[in-house]
Structure 1
Amino acid sequence: MPLESSIFESVAGLPLHPLIVHVAVVLVPLAALFLIVLVIVPRWAAKYGWVALITLGLGTGAAFVAVESGQALAATIGEPPIHGVIGRVAPWLAVGLFVLALSWLVLQRRSYAQDQHRSAGALVTGVLTAVVALVVVGWYGYVGHSGATAVWGQTLNPPPASASPTPSTSPSLAPSETASSTPSPSESPNGLSFTMAQVAQHADAAACWAAVNGQVYDLTSWISQHPGGSSHILALCGTDASAAFNAQHSGQTVPAAELVRFRLGPLV
């Protein structure tokens, strides 16, 4: 069954990823910090160590679900490249911490049961557990920050509007013709149309136009907003991007709705 139609896609009509990811980014760092405290105060380990492990286990499970649901969501809206890469590593860091913390707790309990002080093995695994726990806290903080930036960065800090387009001097816009009061879907609301020569003149980050399925779009402001990364949009600047768009987003309503916002007019 394709991932995008699996149980990881949504729950109660809402994307699962933003719901489950909060469980992971709260429980895993919380458990990691708790483990650091237990390493510093080892006499608490026997009483509270299993609480930390259970919390870490739940958070680790949520992290794996977050990865799967994130990939399902990315199939619809695209994947933020940095967030996607570090997010896929996060569950395995939590697994590593879980194994290390379990080993430390076992050694810690044995050493205290025998002579009430840390053995060399318990000391070494305790230090390693604390170090890895610090890495996990930082990593999950970075994952959460990169995800929030991908979702809210452009909303709170919108890029400046691009320059107004220059109309084509196509014969279809001759002064003798009378424009319809209600433009058809293939017409621009302001009556402008564009040629591929004009599109090709806007082929960089400063002014990025692309033709898609007979329409011309100004994608300049979308370069930094694209969930899949700016490089995917920059590659389309100044070109007929119909094949690339259809191959990636055919049948997907969200990308099509996003694209409409940037329409300049028909290609002639």
Structure 2
Amino acid sequence: MSSMDDAVAVVRESLRPRLAQTLLALDFDGVLAPIVERPQDARALPGTAELLTQISPRVAQVAIVTGRPASDAVQLGGLADVPGLVVCGHYGLERWMGGRLETPSSDSAVDEARVRVAELVAQRPGTAIEDKGHSVAVHTRRAPDPAASLEDLRPLVSAIAEDTGLQVTPGRFVLELRPRGADKGVAVRQLAAEAGAAAVVYGGDDLGDLPAIEAVRALEADGMLGVIICSDGTEVATELREAADLVVPGPEGVQRALRSLLL
């Protein structure tokens, strides 16, 4: 048995008495879906919907917590028929459940940021704007030097944030401008409270997941069991690896871990 198998076995034994009161909350990109160059090309790993469907009756709640619009994650993941699934989009600003989407009205600050980010992108070959509706992101993954391009854009995007009152969320070769007051930590806390959870299993892979991890650790201090799964890859932040209880190789590893822990 490998050290990873040993670690999974230990976590499984801790979860077993609380399984029916467990919240399973997962990021979409990099956790359920492999990372791709263009966000619109992302697809959940084959078998994802079937796996979540199997897990759903065994736990208190299955949820996706993503920076994407909720409907995008549902469509790209093929997740519409997963029973009881809740999808928190835009870091919790949106919520999809049972085919119904709750979404806030448009934000004039995001509208202004969209125009200004488009101007930045037009001047920088290889960069791209992603309009998420309630937020706007600039990607540098396809630039000649993605890291240098990101650093070039960082102060300019920060200036837009300061002018509009939005906040900047960094990620892998991406800077996202979005409204303040919503993050994955807030979403996870709310989901845990609604589910009456005694345990939370959270899977993430990027800097945007750190607030969710911090929320899980805070819930642990209140007596809840917390399990953090890091979906590892070449671009995963060191902070995420260090914060995780289990580090697994990408979405394939996430699927294997979930089967071992929850089925």
TM-score bin (small chain): under 0.3
- Whose Rg is larger? 1
TM-score after normalising by structure 2:
0.27
Larger relative contact order, structure 1 or 2 (CA cutoff 8 Å, min sep 6): 2
TM-score after normalising by structure 1:
0.27
Pick the structure with more strand per residue: 2
